[in-house]
Structure 1
Amino acid sequence: MNGTLKGLLRLYPIARNWTVLSNYIVPIQTIQKVSRVYSTSLTDYSQLEDCISPVEKNYVFTDSKSYKSMEILEKVAKNNTNMTVHNAVDIMFTLFRASKNVDEDLQNIKQHIGFIHLCEILNRNIRLMQITEIINSLRMLTYFKIPANCVLTQSLLQMIRANVNEISLQDIISIVVTLKKMDSTPLRDALLIALPVVFEAQLPTKLDPDNITMLTQSLRLISENNINNPKIQNIILKSLQKFEKDLNVLTAWSIFCSLCSASYPSPMAFELLFNIQKILISDAKQLSIQEIKMALHKLVLVTVRNKEYGCKFYNEALVDAFVNSALSAEISFDNSIYLLKYLNELNYAHIPFLEYLAAKCFQQPNLLKDGPYFRVSVFLEGLINADYKPVFWDIIRDAILANKVENKIFNKSMIKFALHLIALDCYSPSLISKVFSQIIKPNDPMKNIHARELLLLYQSVKTLYPMYNGPWPSQDLLEHAVNIHRTLLSSILSPFSLKTALELALGGPQYVHNNLGTKLGHYIDHVIVMRKGGYPIAINTVNTSNATNMTYIEDIQTPSESQMILIFNLPEAAYAMNSQRLKSTWSLKIKSVEALMKTNAIAINSSSWMKLPEYERLPYLMRAIRLKCEDDSFS
């Protein structure tokens, strides 16, 4: 393995001419203290412990809060002749703390002659630095936004490269965190490949199984760096299991995020996950808003990314605990929108959270009236997923319409935005007109999702808003959207069929018509015709002469004093994950067909239906049909 690593790193030659540092500018975020005590989150900026040896002579700054950055740099500029590299490292740390305390402009610090002198001393004496000083210097330079390709940064990386097989596990964790915050360079990228390999090789013999902090950090590193080694994962997990009853909520949070990030969690990971979730549910109120957002973000990634085991991470009580904790902390509106975005991606409806947001919008309508498109669209989608209109809906609706989104945004996401407004009974002819005439253009490539959204928007406006007199999409575009919709039906239809059950319930296949459409492009799973008294009528259907051989329900002739009933077999995706609330957009599909055909429809959640005992399934369907028959006067 050593030969492989050396070969990899040898591709990037050592910089031999240590010249004076000149230009600085590369992004990083905050670190807090020096030494090697790290944050439990490898995605956050690691903390550095404040345990630096006293600085000698005239370089002593015992209390960084007593000094401003410029005062420290002035002292360095006037008195640096005999400064050692160890003094320079200590002063760099003091400078970091001073600048952090008062939130000073880093650009002014970097351009000061005193800072340049510090970098020159580090650069000139880099081979005299201990590995801990090298790592801490790299972290502080990253904080001060020194570019990854400058000579000093590359020199520090070369020193790490030269000692790659001797660096401790904790140092590897610290370095990897820092490297991920640096811009790409050949050496930085090579180290990001090599260090996890070294970590994997060293862990079985060097990991302290009794150090809970080290265990959680190690789990995070292997999870976020694609170390898919079950043996290594289980070494860490087995050690963590010893601490299950003693874990605090922050440690549990870190482990949860790590398990969500793992590409291939082992069976032992799911054993640990169950107990971790119990801790988080119990103590979620101890988490910060940022930690709650991070946990939900990780949960979204694992549930969306992996269909095989992502469902094992989903826990309704856990999501509720996170959201309720955010509510009790009176989360800000902007943070609420990001939290709602994650709930939307989970397909999760939380009415109290939506009520909280709605109350904020009622108190401050400008949050929506003057808000960015992202904010308004996320809020709308949350209402759609819950099929919920707040008490203050009139005020909220007016604020959204006053935003004049159609004058700000010009992309295909506006199709979805207009569709969501229609689904909430909010009619904006100017927005619809812009979508149909300007956003959608003939021969313009369109993603499948946009085609489906456009089709539903068109169907809804045609059937529910006959007063609309603006432009319409071209016929070619609509035909394309209909074809796309039919092609994708298999991916959105329920995997459970109602056909056999309906035929048994009604007395035979002659009473059930399957897989029909409308001339506006709707799709209906089943159609039945009932006469007075609730008896089915057998109807022969004739395929209309069309390219798709689709039977249109408009062509079904029904006897007088009979009623056509449309039956929609809806998939799980039509409902919020945590409730039986039908999403507003799916409800809109049904309302559109009902308005077109002037008849009633039944929506069946087939997943819930399949969970019923078998002897209850037919009576359930018959009760639903009977209720629709009673609703209709047969006039």
Structure 2
Amino acid sequence: MSQVLKLLFSSNLKTLLSNRQNSVRTLSSITKELIRQSGPATYTNQDILLSNLKVASKTQNVLEIVNDHSKIMNHKHMMQALRSLFLLQKSGNSNLSIQQIIKHPDFEKLCKCLKKHSGAIELNDSIEALKVMNFIGVQSDSTIVQVLLQLIRHQINDLSLHQIIFIDFLFTHMKSTPLVEALRLALPIVFEIQIPYKLDRENLLTMTECLQYVSKKNVSDKCVETIVNSIVKYRGDIDFRNAMSIVWSICDMEADPYFEQLMKRCLDCLIVQFDSLQLTDIETTLSKLVHRVSNKHTFYYNDVFIDLSVNRILDNDLGFEPAIHILRRLFKVYHEHSNLMDYILKKIHDDPLTFENTSSVNISIIVFMLGMCNGNSKYMDSIKGTLQTSNKLKNLKDMFWLKMATSLCILDVYVPEILEKALSDANINKTINKGFVADYRNLLLLKQSITLYKSDYMSMLPANEVLEQLQSKVSADNEFPLEASLQVAFGGQNYVKTNIVSELYHTIDHVVMLRKGGYAVAFPPANNSNKLEDLDMGDNQMVLIYGLNNMHYMRNTKTMKGFVSHSIKTLESMGHTVVSICLDDWNALSDFERIPFLMQAIKEKTEHLAIMSDSI
């Protein structure tokens, strides 16, 4: 054997082979094969064993070399053996399964040699060896893996940010052991300490990877801000891959205002490079963004990106069920997309059984969104007939009954089976106990709709005492930002009534009275009633005024949500003039512009309006 080893590492290998044929026969069969594969031997001082390991074409070849030469292999040979095993296995060129490799005696021999020479292994090699062991499937509680983890533990402060991220990734595929858990806890701490002086602020990919790492770790806000601010200050272009990764990372963290600037920049990048995005990436990004949108943190919402995403999805004609899945996301953020709704309703129009065969959840999303958008679709007449006669709809179980019944009545669809469930004593008591004001509004809207349009169902309605109780709770939540300006415009407190209630339990923000010619009329000081019907109108025109915030409108189209427009519709059916003021538009005005803005809105709803105040 010593003669073979001498031959393998002699710089005059070719001469020795030609002069001593008998010695050649003592070479291992694997060595002969490798010599044939790699061509004629050279006279250089190259490491033949290292070269043979590099050019090995089969896993079995590598293990045979280890078996034949383990006694003379140094740590470089062992690392190359591991590297070759990894590459052959990963490329699919291995002639052994992972289980066969783990159980192979030559692999065990390699692990023992690696343990023996562990003192000479550098940090980067320790990490690479751990990667190979992880890939092959060596258990984390095995001796060799524990040795490698100990080597990393002793040099933990020398780890680069990239190495920390990579080791943490390896841990996600490793069984928990005390040492694994100790390192898992220590890595984010070391990462956080090193971020201020090791972060490469000129390398976008590195910064993106670091942000992704901290998005899943419990690190300080300062650590996250350091990375975010570094990306914000990055002056190079952000490609769509990095932009998408950044968006995902931000969505995976707790919402905070300091993400807004970076989020906006990355979404703009995605919009510009939208054609480069894969459909699956679009769907994931859309889902993550929608999940994080809130009234407090609106920067997650981008109507252009949403519309582009939905249009791409529709272009691929994914079908009925996937389309409803997208609709559910849009419903969450009050985003109206008429093409998507038309796409879904056309599927039902073309095949009514599509509606009958879908899930209860999908039916609820369709009805809720239609109600939210006031039935805005060219297929509405067709779908109304389907809703009215659908057996699936009549037999729904475990539903938000008040919301379902209200959405249907907005569409002028009244299904007795749904109304009975929504207005049952059990459901009314459940609604009261939950204490959700939105449910109270739905119940009051049903009262208004049934009374005005479907009196046949009046017997289903709860007692007026219950409705009065709920109406008082709805009124308690209201704010009246228009009140002071209206009082200035119309001449004082006696000219404006605030927080008024109709006999059908509408809550009205303000009421003013106009006589012929459009001049304001003061309410009698003795009349302190907050009932609309108690206000003595005489020959005067009563104008009802609402101040509507962004929650009353669809987010992208600024059209009124169904429950708002339907409530106004019922008041107008009672003969009242109703003026709605968008508070976002009003708040955007300068102080001197606000009162003329109110007057113009009222004038558009009344025949005549004189100037009410010298202050205008």
Q: Given the two structures, how large is their TM-score scaled by the length of structure 1?
A: 0.68
Matched, 1:581 2:590: no
Q: Does 1:461 align with 2:450?
A: yes
Structure 1, unaligned stretches of length 5 or more? 1-50, 61-83, 99-113, 142-150, 545-549
CA, structure 1 residues 571+339, in 2 after alignment: closer, same or farther (shift >3 Å)?
same
- Of 245, 249, 267, which residue of structure 2 is paired with 1:277? 267
Q: Which amino acid aligns with 1:481?
A: L
Matching residue of 1:618: 595
- 1:583 is displaced (CA, Å) by 0.8
1:514 aligns with 2:498: yes
Indicate conservation of the 8 Å contact 2:58/2:93, yes or no. no
Conserved? CA contact 2:88–2:94, under 8 Å: no
Equivalent positions of 1:38-437 (< 5 A) are: 55-57=58-60, 131-132=127-128, 134-135=130-131, 152=139, 162=150, 163=152, 165=156, 169-174=161-166, 176=168, 193-204=185-196, 206-209=198-201, 211-230=203-222, 233-235=225-227, 237-238=229-230, 241-242=233-234, 244-245=236-237, 247-263=238-254, 271-304=261-294, 307=296, 310-401=297-388, 402=390, 404-411=392-399, 413-437=400-424
Classify 1:516/1:139 alpha carbon distance in 2 versus 1 (closer, same or farther; 3 Å): farther
- Aligned partner of 2:66 in structure 1 is none
- Alignment partner of 2:550 out of 550, 560, 572: 572
Deviation at 1:209, TM superposition (A): 4.8
Seen in structure 2, the aligned counterparts of structure 1 residues 390 and 611 have a Cα distance that, compared at 3 Å, is same
State the 1:390 CA deviation. Answer: 0.8
Q: How far is 1:280 from its partner? A: 1.3
Secondary structure of the equivalent of 2:513?
A: strand
SS at match of 1:409: coil
Deviation, structure 1 residue 393: 0.9
Worse overlay, 352-361 or 387-396: 352-361
- What is the alpha-carbon distance in structure 2 between the residues aligned to residue 97 and residue 240 of structure 1? 46
Q: Cα distance 1:298–1:178, how it changes in 2: closer, same or farther (>3 A)?
A: farther
What's 2:46 paired with?
Answer: none
Structure 1's 460 and 406: CA in aligned 2 closer, same or farther, altered over 3 A? same
Higher helix residue share: 2
The 1-side partners of 2:426 and 2:145 are apart by: 50
From 548, 554, 558, the counterpart of 2:533: 554
Q: Matched residues in 2 for 1:139 and 1:467: separation?
A: 71
Q: CA deviation at 1:206?
A: 4.8
Shift of 1:133: 5.5
Q: For each residue in 1:138-167, what CA deviation from the matched residue of structure 2 results, as whole angstroms up to 9, or x when unmatched?
A: 5787xxxxxxxxx94666997786435376
Provide the rounded CA distance (Å) in 2 between the counterparts of 1:52 and 1:373.
61
Letter in 2 for 1:409: K
Q: Could you say which residue in structure 1 is the equivalent of 2:584? A: 607
Cα distance change on mapping 1:205 and 1:606 into 2, 3 Å: closer
| 1:232–1:410 distance in 2 versus 1, CA, 3 Å | closer
The one-letter amino acid of 2:582's match is N
Asked if the contact 1:59/1:91 (under 8 Å) is kept, the reply is no
Q: Distance in 2 between matches of 1:315 and 1:617?
A: 29
Q: Summarize the Cα distance change of 1:525–1:186 in structure 2 as closer, same or farther, 3 Å threshold.
A: farther
Pair 1:537-2:521 in alignment:
yes
Tell me the secondary structure at the aligned position of residue 468 of structure 1. helix
Describe the shift of the 1:184–1:311 C-alpha distance in structure 2 as closer, same or farther (beyond 3 A).
farther
Q: Which amino acid aligns with 1:199?
A: F
How far apart are the structure 2 equivalents of 1:461 and 1:160?
Answer: 74
Residue-pair matches, total: 517
- State the shift of 1:581 in Å: 0.7
Amino acid of the structure 2 residue aligned with 1:255: I
The change in CA–CA distance for 1:357 and 1:557 in structure 2 (over 3 A counts) is same
Q: Which amino acid aligns with 1:435?
A: A
Alpha carbons 2:62, 2:84 under 8 Å: kept? yes
Give the letter for the 1:527 counterpart.
V
Query: Partners in 1 of 2:463 and 2:178 — Cα distance?
Result: 51
Contact 2:509–2:545 under 8 Å retained in 1: yes
Mapped to 1, the partners of 2:197 and 2:58 lie a distance apart of 36
How far apart are residue 602 of structure 1 and its match?
1.4
List gaps (5 residues or longer) in structure 2: 1-53, 64-80, 116-125, 609-616
Equivalent AA in structure 2 for residue 56 of structure 1: T
**Quick one: which amino acid aligns to residue 286 of structure 2?**
L
Given that 1:459 and 1:592 are in contact with CA atoms closer than 8 Å, whether structure 2 keeps it comes out as yes
Q: 1:389, 1:424 within 8 Å by CA — same for their partners in 2?
A: no
CA contact (8 A) 1:541 1:556 kept: no
Aligned to 1:440: 427
CA distance in 2, matches of 1:504, 1:132: 76
Does the CA-based 8 Å contact 1:241-1:272 persist in structure 2?
no
Q: For 2:381 and 2:418, locate their aligned partners in 1 and report how far apart those are by CA, in whole Å.
A: 18
Q: Structure 2: how far apart are the matches of 1:522 and 1:160?
A: 72
Deviates more, 1:575-584 or 1:122-131: 122-131
Provide the C-alpha distance between the structure 2 equivalents of 1:607 and 1:281, rounded to a whole number of angstroms.
Answer: 26
CA distance in 2, matches of 1:517, 1:173: 61
Identify the residue that residue 590 of structure 1 maps to in structure 2: 568
Once residues 439 and 90 of structure 1 are traced to their aligned partners in structure 2, the CA distance between those partners, rounded to angstroms, is 66
Give percent identity, aligned residues only: 27
Cα distance between partner residues in 2 of 1:136 and 1:480: 69
How far apart are 1:317 and its partner, in Å?
Answer: 3.2
Letter in 2 for 1:486: S
- SS in structure 2 of the partner of residue 515 of structure 1: strand
Paired position in structure 2 for 1:485: 474
Return closer, same or farther for 1:479/1:176 CA change in 2, 3 Å cut-off. farther
With over 3 angstroms needed to count, the CA separation of the structure-2 counterparts of 1:266 and 1:591, relative to structure 1, is: closer
Partner of 1:472: 461
Q: Tell me if the contact between 1:442 and 1:477 (Cα under 8 Å) persists in the aligned partners.
A: no
How many Å separate the matches in 1 of 2:183 and 2:532? 65
Supply the AA of the counterpart residue of 2:336. A
- After superposition, the CA RMSD in angstroms is 4.3
Cα deviation for residue 625 of structure 1 reads 2.9
- Asked if 1 retains the 8 angstrom alpha-carbon contact of 2:204 and 2:234, the reply is no
Look up the equivalent residue of 2:284 and give its one-letter code: M
The answer on 1:502 being equivalent to 2:506 is no
CA gap of 1:375–1:119, structure 2 versus 1, over 3 A, is farther
- Distance in 2 separating the partners of 1:328 and 1:443: 43
Deviations 1:8-56 (A, max 9, x none): xxxxxxxxxxxxxxxxxxxxxxxxxxxxxxxxxxxxxxxxxxx998542
Instruction: Give 1:120 deviation, angstroms.
Output: 6.3
Query: Does the residue aligned with 2:523 lie in a helix, a strand or coil?
Result: coil
Letter in 1 for 2:413: C
- Does the CA-based 8 Å contact 1:511-1:539 persist in structure 2? yes
